[in-house]
Structure 1
Amino acid sequence: MEFWNFVFMTSLMTTQITAVLPSKPWVQPEDVHDKSVISPFQPEATPLTQQSDITPGEHKHDCPAPPVCSCSDINNVIDCSGRGLTRVPEFSKSDGLWDLYIKNNNIHNLTDDDFQKIQIEYLDLSNNSLSAVSDNAFRGLENSLKTLHIETNHLEGIPKAVMSLSNISSLKIQQNPITHLDENVMKSLAKTLMTFHFGFEGMVTWPSSVQILNLFELGIYNLPLEELPETAFRNLNISWLYLNSMKLTKLPSSFGDLEKLFFLSFNTDKELTSNGVPSSLFEGLKGLNDLQIINSKLTALPDIFHYITGLFQLEINSVPIREFTSNMLPENSNITIANFNDTLFDEVPSAISEMKQLSVLSLNYNNITTIRSEDFAGLTKLRYISISNAPLKNVSMDAFQTLSSLAYIALDNTALTTVPRAIENVKFDILSLFGNKLICTCESMGWMKNWSGASRIGINGQCSNLGNMQVEDYIKQDIPRCP
């Protein structure tokens, strides 16, 4: 766990790697999680979704929720998610400021004074069946409510009730059948709103009223537009931009005006090609820190990396690219975390060895068969490598030789049949070989008898020829008896 704490602290945001499991014989089934990134400006609270998540003990304030819900000692959270509710439960009068999760129910209406007895700062009503919201639904929350999630419902417009919220800073309304945005509502939100996510496949024209908002973060989802107006991003000073499940074939010219952009995510934008991402639009984006391209049909990466010289984290996941050459990077790349999962790489791309600041590298679900001597040469800051769920069967003897900071190597679910001897002269902590059909014999592993790392390094995996005996047990018990 120590290394994963390192990964968490190295990353500036909470991430989980998206991986789409290809149909490949060396892949072992495993859980797949959606990648999510939390804005540093508007950190999301962690919802509690099961009774077992509730920490027993004395509450800071008496729980105002009925028994169908649960209260947590942590940050005054009320969880009413997935309880089969058809209306907002009746709360009792309570002091304190609460985060209320009431998502994944079947609530159709919000009525006057549903929340009048409690003060709420964060309200999640996503994935219900909301089709009507009273104009006074948020009475009593005018000064307290800052974050409102009402995405994935049946609303046909932004509820006018939000106009009463004087401190609303985050609103997510995507995946509602909203075809246009009421300009009066948008003007009232412009005073305080910093995070706004919207979009629906029936919204066939760009809502220009978005541009009156003074946003930090913008999320656009499911718009059926192949092109946005060239001025779509003009006057926006956003730092975080999500383009999710769009049909865009090109970026508008005003994209190049987003000089404050810090985070950019293209997620499931399958029509976008490298021709639609001209490098000139990135000339002014020198502050871009995190770039995600996920579940795209790009066959070649756009030539943009010489402009975004401050890039710290790069995520290219579920994208059918075959190469990433060293000449695509600036001379002094700042990329520290790089994930290339589920691509068509059949070898470690040459750009990797040019990422001299690289600390965390993931190359899972690729077609890589060999780790060569030059693949990681000179990456003295690299601490974590994962090339798992790949047909890997050869590791050069000096593949890891220059990696002076190495701590963790993951080569799980590959075609390796023995512990690679490349680890012999490398200082690191853990080698993970789970899911490999390892043959443990004196012939293949006898070199470990005089290896100083045998007692220091953790090797995870099983000997398939010895009834799935743990590799570490074989090293301790059998290797000393090898000739």
Structure 2
Amino acid sequence: MTPSVVLLAVMAISSSIACPVQPPCQCKNQTDPYTLKLEYIVDCSSLGLTLVPKFTGGETVDKILLNGNRIVKVSNGSFTGVTTGAIDLSSNGLQIIAAGAFKGLEKSLTDLQLSTNNLILPIPGLLRLTALKTLNLDYNLNMRTIYTKSFYGLTSLTKLVLSRNFINRFEHGAFEGLPALTELSLFACDLQEIPSALSSLTNLQTLKFDLNFITKLPANAFRGLSNLKYLELSRNALTSPDQIDADAFKGLDNLEKLNLFYDKLGNVPKHAFSYLKNLEYLDLSYTNIAQIVSGDLAGLNSLTQLDISGNSVHFQPGMFSDVSKTLNYILIRSNGLTALPIPVLQEVKSLQWIDAALSDFPKDLPANFASGLSINRLSLMWMNLTSIRPDTFNGLASPLHLDLDSNALRSLDFVTDLCQFGYISVSENPIVCDCHVYNITQAQTTTLDGTCASPPAYKGLGIRSDEFQRKAKEDCKNQHIVGPVKCPWK
């Protein structure tokens, strides 16, 4: 959409909708940063208001912002005189929402933000909002108990955020009446166990339990959640593999992503993953795992991505035998490696991408550094690399995708075969942008991402920028510069 078309659209919206509220509130048009949709907003945020302002005219607006005020109570009929799809009442110290607070919005309100307040459940004003899809109750520190049918009647709700609350009790039936819920966040709620009340959420797909104090995962811990696809259990109090029962994940046949980041397990929990036949991503980073042996990953028949970063893992033959036919991306960052464990990685026939960032490889990478592997992407970031040889990446598949961000490289002289690389990222490196760099860009075989550090006339210029191309073309006009190169893989 051209600027002129956007301006005309804004003018059309502004002329057709009267502002339904008096100053100091403002009505304005703005573009939603996520959907890029043009919206008509009533902005009453951070004005020191103690009451919801009076709305008149019966206009329809996209969003009402009341966040950052001092509104402690939303009374009956507070939004009579306006129709909207979204209200933000976060950061008010809000304590009471009356039963008829949102009267007239039952069929239009889809997004309600109530974070950083002093609310406790049940909240009478919520129970008639049959169109509500997103409810955010993050950081309501007085919220300790989720009572039976606390959200009953929210039949369209798909996303519920209860994060950063000191919740210590879930009554039976706490989540009853939420047939459409697909995402639930219980991040940082001081929980010590998985609440059995979750079993009624049969359509749940995303469940976040990170940064709690969960000490065990008993058998059938996620009973009833057969549609779950993403389970976040990172940064809990799981400090031994014995705390995860072999049947803990039973019934999670559709789970695709499991995060156990920073749970200090020490070893892979035996047989616990055997039910996860559709799991594609497993994060075991920073879990103090010292070894993985054959059988530890048994049952993970669909695993494509494995993160074992931040562990002093002993790489030994057969450790990836359970996933050797499916695994194509492995993260082995910050594992103290001084060289790639090539014989072990060679056993993973499907491997395409290795992320070995933050390793202790030599600063001057040697010849045939990864020879014997058939990968097509390699990430070597944050390693203070100073130089790379033209034969460093010999033997790897072309075109190679190479991530070299945040090193100490000054030169791209290692690029001599213009068909060897399809992409090279050298952001946050002190690159000297010379005619060789320009030559690489003119071959049109390798996409270069990065910024020139020198010479002074080029400092700060993006290698892909028009200004760099213009200056380099002039400065290198007496050099031999190739034109577009045709490679076998193009």
CA distance in 2, matches of 1:317, 1:126: 34
CA distance in 2, matches of 1:316, 1:275: 16
Q: State the match for 1:16 in structure 2.
A: none
What displacement does 1:113 show? 4.0
Letter in 2 for 1:367: G
Q: Does 1:372 align with 2:323?
A: no
Q: State the match for 2:30 in structure 1.
A: 71
CA distance in 2, matches of 1:347, 1:127: 50
Q: Does 1:335 align with 2:303?
A: yes
Q: Does 1:180 align with 2:145?
A: yes
- The alignment-based identity, stated in percent, is 18
Q: State the match for 2:456 in structure 1.
A: none
Letter in 1 for 2:282: L
CA distance in 2, matches of 1:348, 1:58: 63
What displacement does 1:145 show? 1.6
The verdict on how the C-alpha distance between 1:125 and 1:395 changes in structure 2, with shifts beyond 3 A counting, is farther
Residues 4-36 of structure 1, C-alpha deviation per residue, up to 9 Å, x if partnerless?
xxxxxxxxxxxxxxxxxxxxxxxxxxxxxxxxx
| Residue segments in structure 1 that go unaligned for 5+ positions in a row | 1-54
What displacement does 1:110 show? 2.9
Q: How does 1:133-152 map to 2 (within 5 A)?
A: 133-152=97-116
The verdict on how the C-alpha distance between 1:390 and 1:159 changes in structure 2, with shifts beyond 3 A counting, is same
Q: State the match for 2:13 in structure 1.
A: 61
Q: Is the 8 A contact 1:233 1:254 kept in 2?
A: no
Of 208, 214, 231, the match for 1:242: 208
Q: Is the 8 A contact 1:391 1:414 kept in 2?
A: yes
CA distance in 2, matches of 1:252, 1:294: 19
Q: Does 1:310 align with 2:278?
A: yes
Q: Is the 8 A contact 1:85 1:105 kept in 2?
A: yes
Q: State the match for 2:432 in structure 1.
A: 469
Letter in 2 for 1:220: L
Q: State the match for 2:393 in structure 1.
A: 423
Letter in 2 for 1:292: N
The verdict on how the C-alpha distance between 1:76 and 1:337 changes in structure 2, with shifts beyond 3 A counting, is farther
Q: Does 1:354 align with 2:323?
A: yes
What displacement does 1:307 show? 1.9
CA distance in 1, matches of 2:133, 2:68: 23
The verdict on how the C-alpha distance between 1:463 and 1:77 changes in structure 2, with shifts beyond 3 A counting, is closer
Letter in 2 for 1:321: I
Q: Is the 8 A contact 1:195 1:218 kept in 2?
A: yes
Q: How does 1:260-339 map to 2 (within 5 A)?
A: 260-271=227-238, 273-303=240-270, 304-330=272-298, 333-339=301-307
Residues 217-260 of structure 1, C-alpha deviation per residue, up to 9 Å, x if partnerless?
3333444453456x444444233322133222112444252333
What RMSD in Å do the two structures reach over aligned CA positions? 4.1
Residues 278-336 of structure 1, C-alpha deviation per residue, up to 9 Å, x if partnerless?
12122322221111223433333323222211101223445433344443223773122
Q: State the match for 2:477 in structure 1.
A: none
Secondary structure in structure 1 of the residue aligned to 2:126: helix
Q: State the match for 1:47 in structure 2.
A: none
Structure showing greater relative contact order (alpha-carbon pairs closer than 8 Å, 6 or more residues apart): 1
CA distance in 1, matches of 2:220, 2:323: 31
Secondary structure in structure 2 of the residue aligned to 1:356: coil
Secondary structure in structure 2 of the residue aligned to 1:61: helix
Which structure's CA Rg is the greater one? Answer: 2
Letter in 2 for 1:146: T
Letter in 2 for 1:131: Q
Q: State the match for 2:404 in structure 1.
A: 433
CA distance in 2, matches of 1:188, 1:163: 5
Residues 84-104 of structure 1, C-alpha deviation per residue, up to 9 Å, x if partnerless?
233456667576562556555
The verdict on how the C-alpha distance between 1:417 and 1:310 changes in structure 2, with shifts beyond 3 A counting, is same
Secondary structure in structure 2 of the residue aligned to 1:209: coil
Q: Does 1:119 align with 2:90?
A: no
Q: Does 1:390 align with 2:359?
A: yes
Q: How does 1:203-282 map to 2 (within 5 A)?
A: 203-213=167-177, 214=179, 215-227=181-193, 231-237=196-202, 238-257=204-223, 258-271=225-238, 273-282=240-249
Residues 183-229 of structure 1, C-alpha deviation per residue, up to 9 Å, x if partnerless?
4643334x444443336654433332325244433333444453456
Q: State the match for 2:119 in structure 1.
A: 155
Aligned residue pair count: 414
CA distance in 2, matches of 1:366, 1:102: 48
Q: Is the 8 A contact 2:274 2:297 kept in 1?
A: yes
Secondary structure in structure 2 of the residue aligned to 1:314: strand
What displacement does 1:475 show? 9.8
What displacement does 1:472 show? 8.6
| Residue segments in structure 2 that go unaligned for 5+ positions in a row | 1-5, 441-479, 481-490
Q: State the match for 1:11 in structure 2.
A: none
Q: State the match for 1:36 in structure 2.
A: none
Q: State the match for 1:41 in structure 2.
A: none
The verdict on how the C-alpha distance between 1:456 and 1:242 changes in structure 2, with shifts beyond 3 A counting, is closer
Q: Is the 8 A contact 1:345 1:368 kept in 2?
A: no
CA distance in 2, matches of 1:318, 1:128: 38
Secondary structure in structure 2 of the residue aligned to 1:161: helix
Letter in 1 for 2:106: E
Q: State the match for 1:410 in structure 2.
A: 379
Letter in 1 for 2:13: H
Q: Does 1:453 align with 2:422?
A: no
The verdict on how the C-alpha distance between 1:118 and 1:250 changes in structure 2, with shifts beyond 3 A counting, is same
Q: Is the 8 A contact 1:102 1:124 kept in 2?
A: yes
Q: Does 1:86 align with 2:48?
A: yes
CA distance in 2, matches of 1:388, 1:471: 27
User: Which deviates more from structure 2 when the two are superposed, residues 242-251 or residues 361-370?
Assistant: 361-370
What displacement does 1:264 show? 0.8
What displacement does 1:142 show? 0.7
CA distance in 2, matches of 1:400, 1:471: 29
